[in-house]
Amino acid sequence: MISAPRRAGRKRSATAHRAILGAALAIARKKGYRALTVDAIAEAAGVGKQTIYRWWPSKAEVVLEALAERSRARIRAPGIGTLAEEVAGFLAQTFRALNGPHGTGPVFKALMAEAQLSSAFAARFRAALIDHRRAALAEVFTRHGVAPERHGLLLDLAFGPVWYRLLLAYAGLDEDFAREVAASVAHAAAY
């Protein structure tokens, strides 16, 4: 690289950036996504509203970034085992994050809802939170010699039931469910 464009002017405040992400996530978790307003974020973060609008097009994107930041760290390479074991491990790991006391489950659901109401947001939602996990699981498929053209289907078979339970709450996300889904995916992979 020869030179960065380096424009004049005050730099973006890292403090404000962090405070906004933190406040957004805190409010969404404590009061619920419904109570999350841009004014509330601004006040909680000690920030002007314009500072939020300068960097994010909507409050949903703020929450998305906050969640993505914390989410990214949690995805680890699954341990070694059969395909079914690895998929089950991967899903169980995801469930722990969603179920925890500071569980991100409700926030994930709210973002999924936003994604249905705004296609612009939907694209970013997928890119920041969904594609990520799909890629991690696809990597497992590759490692186990699954033909790439079947990855899309298998990912839908793996993540679909999880999201369905999360969104409609017909049953909880536990280790048994992880195993059952994983078994189903493994069979479809072999088929």
Binding site for DNA (CB under 7 A): 6-13, 16-17, 35, 37-40, 42-43, 46-51, 53-55, 58-59
Pattern of binders to a second copy over 157-176, x per CB under 8 A? x-xxxxxxx-xxxxx-----
DSSP 8-state symbol, 150: G
By CB under 8 A, is residue 24 in contact with a second copy?
Answer: no
- Scanning 10-82, the segments in alpha helix (DSSP H) are 14-30, 38-45, 49-55, 59-74
Please give the single-letter amino acid code of residue 13. Answer: S
Q: Which helix (H) or strand (E) holds 107?
A: helix 105-117
Residue 13 binding: pick among a second copy, DNA, none (C-beta 5-8 Å cut-off by kind): DNA
Task: Write down the residue that tokens 């006391």 correspond to.
Answer: 101
Least distance between DNA and beta carbon 67 (Å): 17
Least distance between DNA and beta carbon 108 (Å): 19
Query: Which two three-digit tokens encode residue 154?
Result: 């298998």
Q: Which helix (H) or strand (E) holds 97?
A: helix 83-99
By CB under 8 A, is residue 1 in contact with a second copy?
Answer: no
Residue 39 binding: pick among a second copy, DNA, none (C-beta 5-8 Å cut-off by kind): DNA
Comparing CB distances to DNA, the nearer of 66 and 84 is: 66
Comparing CB distances to DNA, the nearer of 42 and 88 is: 42
Binding window for a second copy (CB under 8 A); candidates: 21-29, 83-91, 139-147, 150-158: 150-158
Comparing CB distances to a second copy, the nearer of 76 and 123 is: 123
Comparing CB distances to a second copy, the nearer of 93 and 118 is: 118
What does the alpha-carbon distance between residue 62 and residue 66 come to, in Å, rounded to a whole number? Answer: 6
Sign of CA dihedral 25, 134, 136, 173: positive
Q: Helix axis angle, 175-190 relative to 83-99, nearest 10°?
A: 140
